[in-house]
Amino acid sequence: MKIFSRAELEHVFKLDTVALGVIRNGFVALAEDRVVIPPILSMDVAENNGDVDVKTAYIEGVPQFVIKVSPGFFDNPKLGLPSLNGLMILFSSQTGLIEALLLDKGYLTEIRTALAGALAAENLANPGIKTVGIIGAGAQARLQAQALKLVRKFEHLQVWSIVPEEAEDYRNEMETVLGVPVTVQTERNTLVETSDLIVTTTPSREPLIEADCVRPGTHITAMGSDQAEKNELTPELLKKADCFVCDRISQSETLGELHHAKDAGITPETIAELGSVISGKSSGRQSEADITICDLTGTGVQDTAIAVYAFEQATKLNFGKIIEE
């Protein structure tokens, strides 16, 4: 058995079109019923503004599968610590024996989440978007914007954060990284009203986007609501949307935005899974004026897809430390 460090995994798996293809293939496998994926084991640690998810999936024909443990403690930045952590355990699909420990400290989760956002935009957003709005200013807010550059050539980025200083830091960094002007919006509704594509990246427990603020043609990717208590979109917005897509319907019904809408007695007019839209089995955007939403709660198939690929690439480079069993 081998242990791989975060540095080694960062070397072999980056935010690029190859990685995008790996995650795309995982979603297609899910749409084609070639995946065994149990419900998420999820624990809320509200006392410390944290939560822990355990996710897994087996993809038919793939030689390994992964069980991932992913803690998110959102007050950690106040302590000088990252919000996200975790590891992935790689098992043989033939024998069930452990083949590797991927001590990525949340890196692979960060990348696969950003790539899912890019796939949502690729398949649902209007091709000619000019302004992107990011709600939140943390690590995922940065990665989502970078991943979007793989699929859309936007000209302007704007950001809103509950902590204004973090939004300023975000602007200073991302203007250099993205090569586009970045505006800090002090009013969240202004960002929503003036963006062609919006990504919410927060652990909020109260809705951040009101239906009345969203103009025709907007695409919204909501990736923060991965626990039953979290909520970034009002139920009325899901009702207003022409197309509602999620990574996995059963998860969105219990953990994501669909869960809150149904509690309010609202069901979107159309519901589809992202993999089904990617593979052409379900329809996405039908017109330039459509409002589209994608709710990403994070799936085990993304974790297995990314971990197996990273393991294969790291093994080719003779990375990893062998530990005696």
Question: Is 3.40.50.720 the CATH classification of the domain at 124-298?
Answer: yes
pLDDT surpasses 90 at 286:
yes
The pLDDT of 273-291, averaged and rounded, is: 97
Longest dimension (CA), the chain: 60
Left (φ > 0), alpha (ψ -120 to 50) or beta: where does 320 sit? left
The pLDDT of 182-203, averaged and rounded, is: 97
pLDDT for res 161: 97
Whole-angstrom distance, CA of residue 277 vs CA of residue 45: 34
| Domain edges within the chain | 2-109+301-322, 124-298
Whole-angstrom distance, CA of residue 192 vs CA of residue 218: 9
pLDDT surpasses 90 at 324:
no
What architecture (CATH level 2) is domain 2-109+301-322? 2-Layer Sandwich (3.30)
Position of tokens 């979290």? 230
What is the torsion angle, in degrees rounded to the nearest 10, for the CA atoms of residue 51, residue 184, residue 186 and residue 197? Answer: -70
194: DSSP letter: T
CA distances from 322 to 6, 96, 101, 103, 287 (A): 16, 18, 10, 14, 54
**Whether the Cβ atoms of residue 91 and residue 98 lie closer than 8 Å to each other:** yes
Position of tokens 């393991």? 311
pLDDT for res 88: 98
Q: What would the two tokens of residue 305 be?
A: 């897809």
pLDDT for res 68: 98
Q: pTM (2 decimals)? A: 0.94
pLDDT for res 224: 82
pLDDT greater at residue 83 or residue 118: 118
Decide: residue 216, CB within 10 A, 0-12 exposed, 13-18 middle, 19+ buried: exposed
Map residue 43 onto helix, strand or coil. strand
Whole-angstrom distance, CA of residue 112 vs CA of residue 107: 9
212: DSSP letter: G
Whole-angstrom distance, CA of residue 171 vs CA of residue 177: 10
For residue 133, what is the enclosing H or E element?
strand 131-135
